[in-house]
Amino acid sequence: MEPKTKIKVRDILFYYGHTQVLKGFNLDIYENKVTAVIGPSGCGKSTLIRMLNRMNDLIPKTRLEGTILLDDKDINDSKIDVVEIRRRVGMVFQKPNPFPKSIFDNISYGLEVNGIIDRRKKEEIVIQSLKKAALWDEVKNRLNESALGLSGGQQQRICIARCLAVAPEVLLFDEPCASLDPISTQKIEKLIMELKKEYTIVIVTHNMQQAARVSDYTAFLYLGELIEFGETQNIFTVPKNKMTEAYLTGRFG
């Protein structure tokens, strides 16, 4: 049975100025599954996932055509609250970007923005978020220390915990392990597989092995077009498109 669709991307076209980056395709992102977006540099992967929580709105002279539905509601509707969309669809970037604040304040920042000011409530959510991000045992005695003093892998998990604190439904990961060592990468991958029990996850990665390890579904993009989409196991073992096969076997890209 096909899982429930959380996000529907329909007939999407995207332009930076006069340059077309995405070229009119459809994609379903399924609930409580990990969808990997793969493809060579410059093919539109990051542009695609940044559309899913309207991060591209922050870039001047961009234009979007088509529809993105979150639970069947158009996220680009003029009546939609963008802040609420970004709460529901959290994002973790390639380079860890903790705030120059304490570990506690990093996690609680989003809570205050969303109107939660009760200290006890904040403490409860911070602890819960750090546990979900598999970081609590490592930082529980350091909550008042600067998050900038943590290792790169820990900083990335702080950023994940910061996302989780505001109760998102979807998590977007844009090359989350690109700047991490193999052990930290393994921890993030294990965490992603754990988080999909509660969240819908989309991950952009250049690492084919990572896509194969953590994702349930894979979308292969090339020059702004969706070349192939399907269950990861099928994409990696019996791709239907010759271009997908060529990319996966390293013959281009």
Q: pLDDT tens digits for 198-239?
A: 999 999 999 999 999 999 999 999 999 999 999 999 999 999
Question: Alpha-carbon Rg of the chain, whole angstroms?
Answer: 18
| Helix, strand or coil, per DSSP, at residue 222 | strand
Stated pTM of the model: 0.94
What residues of the chain score a pLDDT lower than 70? Answer: 252-253
Q: Where are the domains of the chain?
A: 5-248
Tokens of 90: 């959290």
Supply the pLDDT for residue 250: 84
Supply the pLDDT for residue 6: 97
Supply the pLDDT for residue 224: 94
Supply the pLDDT for residue 253: 57
Per DSSP (E only), the strands in 42-112 are: 62-70, 73-74, 89-92
Supply the pLDDT for residue 151: 94
CA 121/CA 222 separation, integer angstroms:
46
CATH fourth-level superfamily of 5-248: P-loop containing nucleotide triphosphate hydrolases (3.40.50.300)
